[in-house]
Structure 1
Amino acid sequence: MTHVLEYHLVHYRRTWRSSALSMLVMPLLTMLGFGVGVGAYVTGGVDGVPYLDWIVPGLIASTAVQAALGEATWPVLSYFKWLKVYFAQAAAPLRVADILGGHVLFMLFRILLSTVVFLVVAVLFGVVHSWWALLVVPISLLVGLAVAAPTVAYSASITIDSFLAILMRFAVLPMSLFSGVFFPIESLPTLLRWVAWALPLWHGVDLSRDAMLGLAPGLPGLGHVLYLLAWCALGSWLAHDRFRRQLVI
């Protein structure tokens, strides 16, 4: 598994410059546009919390999910269909668990980078008020894996990239909009509220918001963690099954 992770890290060492600027610019633009721009019109904040302080935890969780999806979609499909990287690795003395696990570890590395950069930008904007904010790092890794694992299984099950565009339009975009990132889900109709509760991102947003605001999550927080772990476990099992079907002859 570590050898597969090393392969992805060596490749990233050659290409990191292409993503470094966007990794820094996107948090800046997002916080300026939504947190400062829109926040200027949200008088009184949300639940007594300034809008910028309230929205940043959701943006961090959403960024973690976007980073996870960036590695769990087109790269996975291309490694099966076009580049055949997975098949080359399977020809070496590597198990399916090594091939899948090494790439998932690299996904977690990318999520970690994106989260840390966003957190540093948040510090510069003065919206981090407690050391408890550091908990958003493991929370982001958890919600990122909860989304990445089933997405890897999906990407390993398709043969054309049009299905990835469908995933982005009908699953990822609604999840980003209706998971409490930009506004409380209490303002949604009851049906959409249930949809938000079922999606992993909302649970990550709620945990991140408690951490950033220094609030005790209590039993609801434990429920969030267990629910995200269930997504991780089920997604990992599905991904391993799809990889095994494709790589084991």
Structure 2
Amino acid sequence: MATADAMALRAFQYWILRYRRTWRGTVVISIANPLLFLVAIGVGLGRLVGPDAAALGGVDYLAFFAPGILAAAAMQNGIIEAAFPVAVNRGPGGAYPVAAGTPLEPEDILHGHLLFMASRVVLSAAVFVAVMVAFGAARSPLVLLTLPAAALTAMAFALPSAAWAVTLTDIRPVNGIFKWVVMPLYLFSGTFFAVEQLPAVVRPIVYATPLWHGVDLCRSLSLGTVSWPLALVHIGYLTCLCGLGYLMARRLYRRHLHA
């Protein structure tokens, strides 16, 4: 009998085969859009922001903005790779009910899809980091660690998103997540400007958001200003969110995907 790992790999292979036919449609959203943000805002608008701005820590805007948009793009890609595909494929005619009718267990379906999600967000983040370095946006060799940091940020959103999406019988609620989650976090998690520029009463709310932890971790690594105790707080926060999301997803996949 095949092991659980082998069964999960079979599910992963399905997503890889499927992606070979659809990858062109994902490039714009997951890679091109963030890179256009980087060029238009970081390089273009950034020239209007003086490097001596105290709120930027004395670095130019491109160096400040690039790791922030890396983390924000990772969040967006994590949600895109989880919420939409899971919601679509758990319905009638989707891949999940078909897989549930095979020897695959709900956990195998979950694990295989999670492996695919992780591979997608890592690939997108790797391309972005390479462009950051090419544009001279990195200030430290520690920028290489922004790749696992961005991947962790992405999965901190992907796992809870998958857990929620597998409960849906209609994909329309997924559209609301971009209006009520993605855009507010993009704007108020330190991606475009320092959190210190926000009113003092708002800052504790920002510090509690997962994206701020991802942004601050990626930015401190890229700039070489990392405080390792604070970095461990960021990593611990995002890891706990991944763990909670996984436990929720595992339970809900069992409930909704029994053949």
TM range (shorter): over 0.9
**Higher mean Cα deviation, 39-48 or 203-212?**
39-48
What is the aligned length?
249
CA RMSD of aligned residues (A): 1.6
Q: Unpaired runs of 5+ in structure 2?
A: 1-7
**Equivalent pair of 1:203/1:228 in contact (CA under 8 Å):** yes
Of stretches 24-33 and 44-53 in structure 1, the one that deviates more from structure 2 is 24-33
SS at match of 1:73: helix
Provide the residue aligned with 2:44 in structure 1: 37
Q: Deviations over 1:2-51 (max 9, x none)?
A: 11111101111122123335555324321221112221221224110111
Out of 193, 196, 202, the residue aligned to residue 212 of structure 2 is: 202
Shift of 1:61: 0.8
1:62 is aligned to: 72
Please say which of residues 129-138 and 16-25 is displaced more in the overlay.
16-25
Q: What is the rounded CA distance, in whole Å, between the counterparts of 1:239 and 1:215 in structure 2? A: 36
Aligned to 2:225: 215
Could you say which residue in structure 2 is the equivalent of 1:98?
A: 108
- Give me the TM-score of the superposition, normalised by structure 2: 0.91
C-alpha distance in 2 between matches for 1:23 and 1:144: 12
Residues 7-156 of structure 1 mapped to structure 2, 5 A cutoff: 7-20=14-27, 23-43=30-50, 44-45=52-53, 46-156=56-166
Amino acid in structure 1 at the alignment position of 2:22: T
When normalised by structure 1's length, the TM-score is: 0.94
Q: Could you say if the C-alpha distance between residues 170 and 24 of structure 1 is closer, same or farther in structure 2, counting changes exceeding 3 Å?
A: closer
Provide the C-alpha distance between the structure 2 equivalents of 1:28 and 1:243, rounded to a whole number of angstroms: 34
Aligned partner of residue 157 in structure 2, secondary structure: helix
| Cα distance, 1:208 vs structure 2 | 0.4
Give, in whole Å, the separation in 1 of the partners of 2:157 and 2:37. 21
CA distance in 1, matches of 2:197, 2:170: 38
Asked whether the 8 Å contact 1:9–1:106 carries over to 2, the reply is yes
1:27–1:121 CA contact under 8 A, matched in 2: no
Distance 1:137 1:28 in 2: 15
Distance in 2 between the 1:142 and 1:22 partners?
Answer: 19
Residue pairs, 1:166-245, within 5 angstroms:
166-245=176-255
Structure 1 residues 11 and 151, CA gap change in structure 2 (3 angstroms):
same
Q: Residue deviations 1:118-177, cap 9 Å, x none? A: 112112211123321110111111111111111111111222222112222111211111
CA distance in 1, matches of 2:231, 2:134: 28
Distance 1:215 1:83 in 2: 50
TM-fit CA distance, 1:82: 4.2
Cα distance in structure 2, aligned partners of 1:214 and 1:231: 26
8 Å contact 2:167–2:252 — kept in the other structure?
yes
Structure 1, residues 189-227: CA drift from partner, whole Å, max 9, x if none? Answer: 234322221211110111101111112322111111111
Percent of aligned pairs with the same amino acid: 38
* Contact 1:207/1:217 (8 A) holds in 2: no
Structure 1 stretches lacking a partner, 5+ long: none
Task: Please tell me the residue identity of whatever aligns with 1:131.
Answer: P
Partner of 2:12: 5
